Structure 1
Amino acid sequence: MSTDPYLGDGYESHRIDLGADAEGPMIATLIHRRAPGAPTGRKPPILLMHGWSDYVLDRELMEHLGRNGHDVWGLDLRKHGRSLLPGQTATEVDHLNRYDAEIGASLRIIGRDRPPVLLAHSTGGLTAALWAQRNPGTVRGLALNSPWLEMHLGPVTRTLAQVPVRLLAERLRGRPIFPLGSDHYARTLHRDFGGAYDYDLALKPPGGHPFPAATLSAIIDGQRRLAAAGPLPVPVLVLHSAHSRLGPRFTEQMRRADAVLDVRTLAAAAAGLGPRVRIEAIPGARHDVFLSDADARSRALEILDDWLETSFPAAPTMRAPETAEGHGEPPQDRSGKEKPR
């Protein structure tokens, strides 16, 4: 491991090699907060996972969790953030199960006897929930920060969009399916646009990276699979803003709301995750509730701390995934062969 150039002193980054696809070698990046002394084992480790067109950047959140006794890690998925290599299509993936490779590798590095809580944001929340559903015993719980569990306006929209998006993805693959997004969300966050936070705009662009058609198809398919699956076998916390403010023009109300997802659809999908789900709406929170104004951020941390303290009184041993080692279940064509990436 080497000192992480984005989080700085006290943080190390470890490269995970993932083989290659048509664009060349692929990597993921595991970040670790160094802490004095060995973890006690009483509190579970925590592994942060970012959203689409994003990277692990919230040092204040990681420091807070570390001070509370957690061993803190973060994962930049392939073709995101620290893991995006020259010549690659940012965020491109054809199936969310591809991420099983880096999640599985990260859990092995953290330690099979120390299953973590996955603290996952937006699209990362969907990916984390799918992992937990298919690999029981490998994680202790899920803390989902505005997870993208369903399309805007709900399952009907997803069902109507699934086939045409898949057909477009087969034709466009890594090419964008949408025009470049607006900078509304970045204007609520980044110091250069009047926000309170500083992060690398090359890794998390103001309008997002161009959205690959293949990635949108993979997300819709992941939402379908999660909705059809049984209840999650672990405790789940879902945090989201109390309100959404979506629209083509920026308004000041977007600084105190989710300017990315419809929180009503999000909350309805979260309620279907299982019987051990705690859902909390945070007044004044943004899409990333931990990158909100001080009052909303403080409330989100208070709820997270309480849930972690009350949900995990002991630390069990991880059970190995039932899927193939670290790779999950890749998509197949009708002949049973794995599709090209």
Structure 2
Amino acid sequence: MGWAADVELSGYQAREFALPDEPTYAQEPEGSLVATLVRRNPPTRRQAVLYVHGWSDYFFQTHLADAMDDLGFDFYALELRRYGRSLRPQQLAGYIADLTDYYTELDLAVQELRDAGHEKIVLMGHSTGGLVTSLYASERPGTFAALVLNAPWLELQGNAVVRPATQPVVAAARAVAPTTALKLPDSGFYRRSISKADGGEWEYNLNLKGDPAFAVRVGWLAAILEGHAKVAAGLDIDCPVLVVIADRSDFRRTWDDALKLADIVLDVERIAVRAPKLGRHVTIAKFVDGMHDLVLSGPQVRAKVLDEYARFLRCYAS
């Protein structure tokens, strides 16, 4: 399928990659998987950014695309199978059994950018997408000019013993019932902190961003923990890496407007500990009053985040 007008964002274009040979699970229709590449405009530059979203998410942050365009980069966003524009009826939203399965659509996206004449590619990932892109960049040396990670999920929340203790239990459960959904509470606080309908700043498609959030399934969690273990053992990303995080996390269980000024999804201290394991050249930047998705933070904070992106990319990717 070629490029066509994007159904979500005016002026943008999208194209689907069919993934007929990729595995389906439970009652999913066989051969129904697709990934979707979105672009801000037809290619005009030799350098481009390829962005990958987080968990229960999709691309709608057009101000990020505009900022990259101002820096001289064409902008693309990849929506992985079972997410956002790529999610189809009867599919297990967000599910994956092995994070390396995503390399299929990432390879297709990179090839599309190469075919469009982009000689230099910056890979960018947020949250779970930051974990996926880190693993992928490590396995594709010589491919990317830089890697930019926005609150990447590099380790499980809590102290250092949580994941090693949890991982064998989850792996055993996966062997028995991989698609079983775990009963985890969703306070709705993150939606409340960003959605304009709930007093936040941003308008987006609630259906595509998973409202309520996608079900966390045993096999998916096992795949995530395996990814965390690889990061903990050390990756070998050969390009410069920028990791941006909020200066603090806040996991309180009652609503307070202070939740708009912190990462209320991930443990930023655990991210900071793991980030140096990504490669030989890693820069970590913390932002006071930053949110989980740093580019959705308040105007002054996100301006600082985008300025940091600009400095980093001018130094290492221009």
Cα offset for 1:179? 2.5
Partner of 1:59: 62
Q: TM-score, normalised to structure 1's length? A: 0.87
Cα offset for 1:271? 2.3
Equivalent positions of 1:194-205 (< 5 A) are 194-205=199-210
Equivalent positions of 1:95-110 (< 5 A) are 95-110=98-113
User: Do the aligned partners of 2:127 and 2:151 also contact (CA within 8 Å) in 1?
Assistant: yes
Q: For 1:296, what is the secondary structure of its paired residue?
A: helix
Does 2:265 correspond to 1:260?
Answer: yes
Q: 2:238 aligns with which of 196, 214, 233?
A: 233
User: Do the aligned partners of 1:107 and 1:115 also contact (CA within 8 Å) in 2?
Assistant: no
Letter of the structure 2 residue corresponding to residue 8 of structure 1: S
Partner of 2:40: 33
1:33-77 deviation digits (Å, cap 9, x = unpaired): 115x721x2xx3101100011111101111121122101000000
Cα offset for 1:171? 2.8
User: Do the aligned partners of 2:122 and 2:317 also contact (CA within 8 Å) in 1?
Assistant: no
Cα offset for 1:276? 0.8
Does 2:38 correspond to 1:68?
Answer: no
Does 2:315 correspond to 1:310?
Answer: yes
Letter of the structure 2 residue corresponding to residue 57 of structure 1: F
Greater Cα offset, 206-215 or 240-249: 206-215
Q: For 1:137, what is the secondary structure of its paired residue?
A: coil
- Between the aligned partners of 2:35 and 2:189, the Cα distance in structure 1 is 28
Seen in structure 2, the aligned counterparts of structure 1 residues 140 and 154 have a Cα distance that, compared at 3 Å, is farther
Equivalent positions of 1:241-256 (< 5 A) are 241-256=246-261
Partner of 1:16: 17
Give the number of equivalent residue pairs: 308
Q: 2:8 aligns with which of 6, 9, 13?
A: 6
What's the % identity of the aligned pairs? Answer: 31
1:214-251 deviation digits (Å, cap 9, x = unpaired): 11110000111122234321100000101111132222
User: Do the aligned partners of 2:231 and 2:274 also contact (CA within 8 Å) in 1?
Assistant: no
Q: For 1:208, what is the secondary structure of its paired residue?
A: coil
The answer for unaligned runs of 5 or more in structure 2 is none
Partner of 2:294: 289
Letter of the structure 1 residue corresponding to residue 98 of structure 2: H
Letter of the structure 1 residue corresponding to residue 113 of structure 2: I
Does 2:88 correspond to 1:85?
Answer: yes
User: Do the aligned partners of 2:65 and 2:75 also contact (CA within 8 Å) in 1?
Assistant: yes
Seen in structure 2, the aligned counterparts of structure 1 residues 115 and 99 have a Cα distance that, compared at 3 Å, is farther
Task: Please report the RMSD computed on the Cα atoms of aligned residues, expressed in angstroms.
Answer: 1.5
Q: TM-score, normalised to structure 2's length? A: 0.93
Equivalent positions of 1:103-182 (< 5 A) are 103-111=106-114, 114-182=119-187
- Between the aligned partners of 1:99 and 1:115, the Cα distance in structure 2 is 21
Cα offset for 1:272? 2.2
Letter of the structure 2 residue corresponding to residue 3 of structure 1: A
Cα offset for 1:177? 1.8
User: Do the aligned partners of 2:44 and 2:74 also contact (CA within 8 Å) in 1?
Assistant: no
- Between the aligned partners of 2:106 and 2:286, the Cα distance in structure 1 is 28
- Between the aligned partners of 2:301 and 2:44, the Cα distance in structure 1 is 32
- Between the aligned partners of 1:48 and 1:229, the Cα distance in structure 2 is 23
- Between the aligned partners of 1:114 and 1:99, the Cα distance in structure 2 is 22
Cα offset for 1:149? 0.2
User: Do the aligned partners of 2:239 and 2:281 also contact (CA within 8 Å) in 1?
Assistant: yes
Partner of 2:284: 279
Q: Which gives a bigger RCO, structure 1 or 2 (Cα 8 Å, sep 6+)? A: 1
